[in-house]
Amino acid sequence: MILHELISFDLLRLIWWGLLGVLLIGFALTDGFDMGVGALLPFVAKGDTERRVVINTVGPVWEGNQVWFILGGGAIFAAWPPLYAVSFSGFYLAMFAVLAALILRPVGFKYRSKRPSPAWRSGWDWALFVGGAVPALIFGVAVGNVLQGVPFELTEDLMPLYPGAFYAKFLGLLNPFALLAGVVSLSMLLMHGAAWLTLKTEGAVQMRARKIGTVAGGVALLTYALAGLWLGAAIPGYHIVSPVVANGPSNPLLTEVVREGSWLSAYAARPWIAVAPALGFLGIALATLGLRAGREVSTLLFSKLGIFGVIASVGLTMFPFILPSSTMPSASLTVWDASSSHLTLFVMLIVTVIFMPLILAYTAWVYKVLWGKVTVAEVTEHGDTLY
C-alpha cells in the first residue's frame, strides 16, 4: 500500500476542512485582540503616555499573532486551490483594502515614536486605528457575502468568471446583510481587544476599555442574534441533490446543487451543531458581564470562547459548502470537490502534525514570558526601548 493511502481521501478532505477552521479561528483569537486594541486606541487612551501603554500591550506579540493569517492563506492555497482562486478573485478589492490596512500596522508601530511631534504621533495612532478596524469590518462583510453566495461561474475547464460590471460587483459586496455581519465582526473584536486591555493595563485606560468593551459586547450579542434570524428568514440555503462522491475528483461541476430552503435546516439534520452558536452567545455574554464586573483572565477566556462559537457556527451551518455560487449553484465549492490531491493533503498533514505543536508551544512560552501588565511607569522609565 502507498503510504498516503493509509488515510482515505474523503477523510483527509474532512480533516483539512477542520484544520482550515482551526487556522481561521486561531487568527481571530490571537490577532483579533490586536485588531481590537488598534481600533480602540484613539478612544481608550488620552495623551501620548497612555497611548504608548496601549500600543505596548500588543507590540511584542502582534507579529507572531499575524502568522495565523499567513498560515490560513497558505493552507487555502495548498489544500483548497479552487477556493483560493475564486475567493481571491471575487474579493480582490476587499483583500487589497485588508492588506493595505494591515501594512499600516507595522509601519505605525515602527515609525510612531521616531519623532516627538504630537501631530506626527496622532497621525500614526489613527493609522493603527485603520489597521485594526478596517480588517475587522471587512472580514465580517466577506463572511456575510459567503453566506449569501458569491456571484461567480465556472467554465467547462473550471475557470472562474465574474460576469457584470466591475463597480457593480464591488458595490454588491456592500449589501445590508453583509454589512450587518461586518458589524458583528467589528463589535466582537472590539470586545476582545477591550478584554485584552483589561488584562494588560490598569487605571484610566483599563476603565475606559471596560466601558467601551461592555457596549461592544452588547452590540455583538444583538447583531449576532439579528444576523441569525435574518439568515433563517430571508437568505436561501444550498443543498446537494446528487449523490455525494466524497473521494471523487475535485470538479464542482460534477455535483448538482440547488439553492432553496434555509441554511438553518442544517440544525434539523445535525442537531448537535447547535452547540456552536450556543457557545457564541454564552461566551460573548459572559465576556460582557466580566468586563462590566472588572474581571480579567476569565473575561479574556470567555471572549475567546464567544469568537470560537461564532466562527464555528458559520462553518458548521454551511457544511459541506465552502464557497457557494449565487449565480451558478452547480459551481459551488464544497469539501468534497474543491481540494488538492490525495497525496498533497497527506504530505501537508504530516508537516502540520510536526510543526503545529512547535508553533503552539513557542506561542505559549512567549505569552508566559510577557505575562503581566504594561504600566505608565514602565513606559516612562524605558523610554525609547519601547514603542
Each residue's pLDDT tens digit, 332-381: 999 999 999 999 999 999 999 998 898 889 888 888 888 888 888 888 87
pLDDT, residue 381, reads 77
Are the C-beta atoms of residues 267 and 273 closer than 8 Å to each other? yes
Q: Is residue 321 part of a domain?
A: no
Q: Is residue 181 part of a domain?
A: yes
Q: Is residue 243 part of a domain?
A: no
Q: Is residue 357 part of a domain?
A: yes
Question: How large a percentage of the chain has pLDDT more than 90?
Answer: 63
Q: Is residue 316 part of a domain?
A: no
Q: Is residue 154 part of a domain?
A: yes
pLDDT in tens, 119-168: 999 999 999 999 999 999 999 999 999 999 998 899 888 888 887 656 55
pTM of the model: 0.93
Q: Is residue 257 part of a domain?
A: no
In this structure, the number of other CB atoms found within 10 A of the CB of residue 70 comes to 11
Q: Is residue 175 part of a domain?
A: yes
Q: In which domain, by residue range, is 166 found?
A: 7-236+340-385
Of 246, 232, 238, the C-alpha closest to 331 is 238
Alpha-carbon torsion (289, 295, 296, 298), positive or negative: negative
- Our count of domains for the chain comes to 1
Are the C-beta atoms of residues 319 and 335 closer than 8 Å to each other? yes
